[in-house]
Amino acid sequence: MHFSQVMQQFDANKPDSIIIDVPEAWGQGRAVFGGMAAALAMAHLLPVIPDAMLLRSVSVSFVAPLNAGQANVTRRILRQGKSVIQAQVEINQDNQVALILLASFGAARPSTHQLAADTAPQFQTDKIQTLPKQGPVPEFTTHFDYRIAHGQLPFSSSALRELGGDIRLTGDESTQAGILELLALVDAWPPVSLTLLNKPAPASSLTWTIEFIAHDLPFQTSDWWRYLAEIEYGADGYHHIAAKLWQPDGKLAAISRQTVTVFA
């Protein structure tokens, strides 16, 4: 099932607590990959947020594996002020919490301090690598195309603490890009941690914070979006990873931070 088809089960007329279908073929190990899980939560929240309130920041805790099948999604507006809304979404499955999402929305306001963001980095294009569509790769990755231009493939004993390149949803899934699609594009990259390893080992996101810089997105999901991640610190089985996603025109779209558990 395409990403856009999964999101069609949400609309503004739904009650605050609903039963949804978590899709198959979007798995990562024993669970749905984090970008899809976060998008499912956000898709239930966005319809009740006024258009003038732009999404500024999202914090996600992956409490337990979210599997394909039915799950309960509940949204709650924690506080709604004149210019800021704070909200929470919880996904429950099999009588336990699987995911908690906190989101902050804020209306634009006048400011004398306008600080420009970095533009997209330039990578050499003579040594592009791709993730295979078949073989020992997570099933969700078949929905994406990857051009790895900086760093190495997972389990290649890379000496770099960075991983970057370009990503898009596959051509037959091309739709207008929005918040939900950016959640998927950012999290679809393998953790940099896996590129350091010399053999397969599990890793999973514990927490994820993503801040949205771009709000006017006149692009398609099949356009190439540039990504760069770096492990800022790693010890005791936990890696702290900072990443950025740039629009196809080179402007910064999102800033991401993850705490990743590495079982190696």
Digit-coded pLDDT (tens) for 245-256: 999 999 999 999
Rounded Cα gap, residues 158 and 119, in angstroms: 26
pTM of the model: 0.94
Show Cβ contacts of residue 22 under 8 Å, excluding neighbours closer than 6 positions.
32, 37, 40, 66, 67, 68, 69, 70, 71, 93
C-alpha angle 125-126-127 in degrees, rounded to nearest 5: 95
Domain spanning 3-108+125-262: which superfamily?
Acyl-CoA thioesterase, double hotdog domain (2.40.160.210)
- Parts of the chain with a pLDDT under 70: none
- pLDDT per residue as tens digits for the range 17-47: 999 999 999 998 779 999 999 999 999 999 9
Query: Do 102 and 86 meet the contact criterion of CB atoms below 8 Å apart?
Result: yes
40 token code pair = 């499912």
**What pLDDT does residue 54 have?**
96
Chain centroid to CA 69: 21
C-alpha angle 225-150-259 in degrees, rounded to nearest 5: 75
Parallel, antiparallel, or unpaired: how do β-strands 225-235 and 162-169 relate? antiparallel
